[in-house]
């Protein structure tokens, strides 16, 4: 889903123990930091690493973007979303609520 | 990735061609480059739809028109919700187009729209003229298979699956994308994915033509060999087709086992229907179904162990630091 829309989502549920981590896959630092600034994103945004246990593609085999995993408090991936379609935001919010 | 986003790449190329062309007659490439310039300034969906439709109407034989029609399918169809309008529009452009290559692309978009509005579409009318000019590419065979399945045109499904088999190799994948920077491993993977995808369509086509044994063999191989996402979803529908066959053969446990990953981790409605039916055939009640789904979800859930990345200030990030929180982990790249 679109990154700016994650900001209000995070702000709404963070007190209940919800975190957002956005991993920028291509290490395009300049573009990414500019985007983050322009959109006032304050949740956790990080850059994909280079070592074996960091590279998103080889770890997760992620080939489609955006891809997201919703992880519960026990560290299990309970929901996955690939791509972004209309109506996904409501789905994701419901899923988050069900795990909090 | 939507076909529409592919326009970003030819745009740069065409702008360069446009800038270098001699004065005098405008080439189709110039025409499209000009259109792109104006288009990129548009903001509302309505404006975009109008511009795209005007271009297609005025240039029905331009090599980019199929992509333009695909853009209309997205903006008018998905954003404005006017599926009937997409079908009418795409059909009208198809009527204007004469070039077999262009007709094929526009025809595929029209066929997709036809499926959505519940109309028929004669795929042969766009395939045969193109075949008279040249052999179809892997991508074109794939487009035929995808739309033939939705139109329930089973002969075409199996015919084109069989014609696609020679293209479903690592070597052919490399040959189709000579300029891309793929590793040998990636190429091998893509070749294998083509193979299982083609086998998947072939199997489903055969099943619907009544060739149950051959179909089941093909689908069993494809489902066993197919790659799966990190969360266990197969990269093609082979296992879901097998699930449908299992359900019909009254093997409900197998049906659930095969369809569950799609239903639970990929929001696949068809798979969910299969799981629901198999579940009730097995004696499950409606109220028990939600609970059943939830426990299947927990059972299939994978963990992520030791994921690390880097903060923009250089500090290391460890996902483990967010233990006991609900985390939305999203992967993106700045476009």
- What is the rounded distance in angstroms from the CA atom of residue B108 to the CA atom of residue A91? 31
Asked if B312 lies within 8 A of A33 by C-beta distance, the reply is: yes
- How many CB atoms within 10 Å of residue B9? 9
Examine residue A17 and state whether it is found in any structural domain, yes or no: yes
Examine residue A47 and state whether it is found in any structural domain, yes or no: yes
| Min Cα separation A99/chain B (Å) | 7
Q: Is 90 exceeded by the pLDDT of residue A57?
A: no
Closest by CA to B248, choosing from B222, B215, B223, is B215
Phi-psi map region of A40: left, alpha, beta (phi>0 left; psi -120 to 50 alpha): left
Chain A residues near residue B329 by CB distance under 8 angstroms: 21, 23, 68-71
Q: Sorting pLDDT into bands at 50, 70 and 90, what band is B130?
A: very high
Percent residues over pLDDT 70 in chain B: 92
Examine residue A77 and state whether it is found in any structural domain, yes or no: yes
Nearest to A80 among B231, B306, B309 (CB): B231
Asked if B230 lies within 8 A of A61 by C-beta distance, the reply is: yes
Percent residues over pLDDT 90 in chain B: 78
Chain B residues near residue A78 by CB distance under 8 angstroms: 297-298, 301
Q: Characterize the bridge pairing of strands A77-82 and A67-71.
A: antiparallel
Q: Is 70 exceeded by the pLDDT of residue B48?
A: yes
**3-class secondary-structure state, position B332:** strand
B312 and chain A: CB distance < 8 Å anywhere? yes
pLDDT of residue B5: 54
pLDDT of residue B69: 97
Looking up residue A75, the CATH number of its domain turns out to be: 3.40.30.10
Closest by CA to B176, choosing from B165, B187, B185, B184, is B187
Instruction: Provide DSSP, B31-65.
Output: HHHHHHHHHTT--SHHHHHHHHHHHHHH-TTSTTH
B313 and chain A: CB distance < 8 Å anywhere? no
Q: pLDDT tens for residues A70-91?
A: 999 999 999 988 877 767 888 8
Which has more pLDDT, B90 or B1?
A: B90
Residue in chain B nearest A22 by alpha carbon: B330
Examine residue A99 and state whether it is found in any structural domain, yes or no: no
pLDDT of residue A55: 58
Closest by CA to B319, choosing from A62, A84, A48, A96, is A48
Q: pTM (2 decimals)? A: 0.84
Taking a contact as any Cβ pair under 8 Å apart, which residues of chain B between 115 and 144 contact chain A?
none
Overall domain count for chain A: 1
Question: What mean pLDDT is predicted for residues B28-37?
Answer: 91
User: For the purposes of burial, counting CB atoms within 10 Å of the CB of B100, is it exposed (0-12), middle (13-18) or buried (19 or more)?
Assistant: middle
Q: Sorting pLDDT into bands at 50, 70 and 90, what band is B304?
A: confident
Q: Is the ipTM of this complex over 0.85?
A: yes
Q: Sorting pLDDT into bands at 50, 70 and 90, what band is B21?
A: very low
Examine residue A97 and state whether it is found in any structural domain, yes or no: no
Between the two ends of chain A, the Cα-to-Cα distance in Å is 20
Q: Where are the alpha helices (DSSP H) in B99-211?
A: 100-117, 124-133, 138-151, 154-164, 170-176, 184-208
Taking a contact as any Cβ pair under 8 Å apart, which residues of chain B between 281 and 310 contact chain A?
297-298, 301-304, 306-310
Q: pLDDT tens for residues B84-108?
A: 999 999 999 999 999 999 999 999 9
Q: Is 70 exceeded by the pLDDT of residue B33?
A: yes
| Min Cα separation B294/chain A (Å) | 9
Q: Sorting pLDDT into bands at 50, 70 and 90, what band is A64?
A: low
Interface test with A, best of B1, B317, B331 (most A CBs within 10 A): B331
Per the structure, the complete domain to which residue A51 belongs is given by 2-86
- What is the rounded distance in angstroms from the CA atom of residue A65 to the CA atom of residue B332? 6
Nearest to A77 among B301, B323, B330 (CB): B301
Examine residue A98 and state whether it is found in any structural domain, yes or no: no
Q: Sorting pLDDT into bands at 50, 70 and 90, what band is A52?
A: low
**Cβ-proximal residues to B132 (8 Å cutoff; 6+ apart), any chain:** B100
On whether the CB atoms of residues B108 and B143 are closer than 8 A, the answer is yes
**Cβ-proximal residues to B47 (8 Å cutoff; 6+ apart), any chain:** none
Question: What mean pLDDT is predicted for residues A45-69?
Answer: 69
Asked if A65 lies within 8 A of B297 by C-beta distance, the reply is: no
Question: What mean pLDDT is predicted for residues B148-160?
Answer: 98
Q: Is 80 exceeded by the pLDDT of residue B8?
A: no
The single-letter DSSP state of residue A8 is H
Where is B134: in which H helix or E strand? none
Chain A residues near residue B324 by CB distance under 8 angstroms: 17, 73
Nearest to A75 among B230, B304, B311 (CB): B304
Chain A residues near residue B227 by CB distance under 8 angstroms: 61
Instruction: Provide DSSP, B234-268.
Output: BSSSHHHHHHHHHHHTT-HHHHHHHHHHHHHHS--
Asked if B326 lies within 8 A of A99 by C-beta distance, the reply is: yes
Examine residue A91 and state whether it is found in any structural domain, yes or no: no
Question: What mean pLDDT is predicted for residues B151-168?
Answer: 97
Q: Sorting pLDDT into bands at 50, 70 and 90, what band is B3?
A: low
Examine residue A92 and state whether it is found in any structural domain, yes or no: no
pLDDT of residue B19: 47
pLDDT of residue A87: 75
């Amino acid at each position: 889903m679109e990154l700016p829309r994650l900001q209000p989502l995070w702000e709404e549920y963070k007190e209940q123990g919800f975190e957002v981590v956005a991993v920028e896959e291509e290490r395009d630092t300049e573009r990414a930091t500019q985007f983050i600034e322009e959109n006032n994103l304050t949740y956790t945004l990080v850059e994909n690493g280079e070592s074996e246990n960091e590279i998103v593609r080889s770890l997760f085999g992620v080939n489609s973007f955006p891809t997201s995993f919703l992880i519960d408090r026990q560290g299990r991936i309970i929901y996955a979303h690939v791509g972004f379609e209309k109506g996904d935001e409501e789905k994701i919010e419901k899923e988050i609520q069900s795990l909090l | 990735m939507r076909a529409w986003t592919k326009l970003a790449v030819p745009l740069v190329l065409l702008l360069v061609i446009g800038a270098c062309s001699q004065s005098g007659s405008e080439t189709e490439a110039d025409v499209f480059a000009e259109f792109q310039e104006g288009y990129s300034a548009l903001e509302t969906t309505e404006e975009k739809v109008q511009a795209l439709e005007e271009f297609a109407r005025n240039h029905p034989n331009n090599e980019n028109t199929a992509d333009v029609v695909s853009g209309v399918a997205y903006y008018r169809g998905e954003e404005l919700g006017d599926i009937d309008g997409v079908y009418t529009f795409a059909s009208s452009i198809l009527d204007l187009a004469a070039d077999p290559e262009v007709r094929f692309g526009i025809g595929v978009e029209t066929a997709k729209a036809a499926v959505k509005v519940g109309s028929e579409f004669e795929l042969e009318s766009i395939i045969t003229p193109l075949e008279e000019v040249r052999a179809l590419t892997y991508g074109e065979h794939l487009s035929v298979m995808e739309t033939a399945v939705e139109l329930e045109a089973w002969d075409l499904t199996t015919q084109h699956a069989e014609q696609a088999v020679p293209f479903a190799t690592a070597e052919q994948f490399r040959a189709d994308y000579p300029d891309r920077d793929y590793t040998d491993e990636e190429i091998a993977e893509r070749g294998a994915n083509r193979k299982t995808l083609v086998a998947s369509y072939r199997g489903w086509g055969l099943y619907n033509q009544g060739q149950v044994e051959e179909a089941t063999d093909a689908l069993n191989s494809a489902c066993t060999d197919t790659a799966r996402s990190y969360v266990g979803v197969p990269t093609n529908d082979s296992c879901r087709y097998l699930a449908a066959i299992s359900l019909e053969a009254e093997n409900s446990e197998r049906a659930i086992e095969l369809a569950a990953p799609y239903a639970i981790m990929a929001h696949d409605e068809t798979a969910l229907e299969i799981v629901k039916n198999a579940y009730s055939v097995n004696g499950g009640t409606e109220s028990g179904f939600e609970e059943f789904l939830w426990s299947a979800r927990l059972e299939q859930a994978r963990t992520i162990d030791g994921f690390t990345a880097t903060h923009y200030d250089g500090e290391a990030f460890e996902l483990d630091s967010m233990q006991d929180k609900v985390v939305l982990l999203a992967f993106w790249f700045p476009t």
